[in-house]
Amino acid sequence: MKIHDIPGFPNPLRIRIALAEKGLADQVTFVKVDVPAAENRQDDFLALNPTGTVPVLELDDGLCVSECTAITEYLDNLDGAPVLTGRTPREKAVIHMMQKRAEALLIDAVGDYFHHATPGLSPALQAYKSPDWEGRADWGRRQGDKAIAGMRYFDKVLRDQPYVAGEAFSMADITVLEGLVFAGFAKLAVPEDCTALIAWNARLQERPSVKNPA
């Protein structure tokens, strides 16, 4: 298997943590994609993933799988013993619900804020952004507000349970965790009164897969 990504970026880190959780790092070859130089927007990469996003899992038979949820599902179920995506129908339902909320309310909202209300990642990527429109920066700032509201939502969730989807660590935790990493990069601070979220984040920073991702 190959993983096309760029080290240190939030979405690639989601998959690297999943690989570490499953003990699969030695079964993967990493192929670096120079995102700041817009390599992910060139024809060779778009042939792997037409949306131009990283990471992409390339299987030995040539099939390319994009989207972190889909990649995590594949990796987690390779050995028939899923630990990140749920074992029972109930677990799967709750984890996938919270995974979607983690994306919509946090990591994607941070991304929209970063790309539309700040200078963004690099000049090379500017040409590939959505066309400018009146109020784009205002919309981006509203996405920043949405991300802060998302932090408050997950803080409330974590006041009543140890992990985002319940009693066990899951891919939803990974997504919230990397949403906070992205927020820090975009200079969106976690509100000080989100004490449960802050404590959860500190606890997960000591998890082996987070300290030493693939």
**For 139-181, what is each residue's pLDDT tens digit?**
889 999 999 999 999 999 999 999 999 999 999 999 999 999 9
Q: Model confidence over 99-151: pLDDT tens digits?
A: 999 999 999 999 999 988 888 777 777 666 665 655 688 888 999 999 999 99
Q: What would the two tokens of residue 72 be?
A: 């995590």
Choose one of 29, 50, 77: the last residue of a domain: 77
158 vs 172: CA distance, rounded Å: 12
| DSSP designation for 2 | E
Domain of residue 193: give its range: 89-211
Please give the Cα distance from 182 to 194 (Å, whole number): 17
Q: How many domains does the chain have?
A: 2
Q: What is the DSSP letter of 86?
A: -
Q: Are 119 and 36 in contact (CB under 8 A)?
A: no
For residue 193, the model assigns a pLDDT of: 98
In a domain, residue 32? The reply is yes
Place of tokens 């989207």: 67
Residue 82 counted as domain residue? no
Identify the pLDDT of residue 125: 73
- State both tokens at 1: 């298997």
In this prediction, residue 84 carries a pLDDT of: 98
Joined tokens for residue 164: 């985002």
Same structural domain, 72 and 94: no
Q: Which residue has the tokens 């299987």?
A: 59
Residue 83 lies in a domain: no
Distances in Å between the Cα of 92 and the Cα atoms of 68, 164, 196, 197, 205 are 16, 13, 24, 23, 25
Domain boundary among 77, 111, 138: 77
Looking at the structure, do residues 51 and 150 belong to the same domain, yes or no? Answer: no
Per residue in 14-71, pLDDT (tens digit) is 999 999 999 999 999 999 999 999 999 999 999 999 999 999 999 999 999 999 999 9
Residue 133 has a pLDDT of 56
CATH classification of the domain holding 164: 1.20.1050.10
- The model carries a pTM of 0.94
Instruction: Indicate if 71 and 96 belong to the same structural domain.
Output: no
Domain boundary residue among 52, 77, 102? 77
Crossing angle of helices 136-158 and 195-204, rounded to 10°:
80
The answer to whether residue 185 is domain-embedded is yes
